[in-house]
Amino acid sequence: MIQPIDIEAIARGDIQRYSNQVLTSVNDHDVHLSIMQTPYFWHLHPDSDETFVVVEGTLAVDMDDGTVNLQRGQMLSVPAGVRHRTRPVTARSVNLTVERTDATTVRCDAPPHWTGP
């Protein structure tokens, strides 16, 4: 029998600074649970869009042209090829992230004009 995934129970686990685990796969995409207490590095995915859904806290999505702060219950999709990084605005953020299975992650420098945290 198919069983539900208890996102809140997983998020209550002992997480140190950063955790990212695949919860399930849907067609050719993975659904990750990301728990962040520190920023992720600047990167892009040349072969996949990436969608973020905030479950707890506030998540900043920094991009070349600015930052979008997502509150609990909000969602944002970053198109393939767009340089970005995510970071918690609150003490931690808990997010669902959806991207193509085996998506390529290319680490990048921050934009030259970047002055944020």
Fold of the domain spanning 48-112: Jelly Rolls (2.60.120)
Instruction: Indicate whether 39 pLDDT > 80.
Output: yes
Dihedral (C-alpha) 50, 53, 58, 61: value to the nearest 10 degrees? 10
State the greatest distance between any 2 C-alpha atoms of the chain, in Å, as a whole number: 52
pLDDT on residue 11: 87
pLDDT per residue as tens digits for the range 6-37: 998 888 876 677 889 999 999 999 999 999 99
Strand order in the sheet with 93-100: 18-26, 29-36, 93-100, 50-56, 75-78
pLDDT category at 113 given cuts 50, 70, 90 is confident
Residue of higher predicted confidence among 114 and 75:
75
Mean pLDDT, the chain, whole residue set: 93
| Residue linked to tokens 């209550």 | 12
**All structural domains of the chain with their residue ranges:** 48-112
Task: For residue 7, give the H/E element and its range.
Answer: helix 7-11
User: What is the torsional sign of CA 14, 25, 90, 81?
Assistant: positive
pLDDT on residue 14: 67
The two three-digit tokens of residue 34, written as one number:
């990301």
The two three-digit tokens of residue 65, written as one number:
């042209």
| Global pTM exceeds 0.85 | yes
The two three-digit tokens of residue 35, written as one number:
């728990």
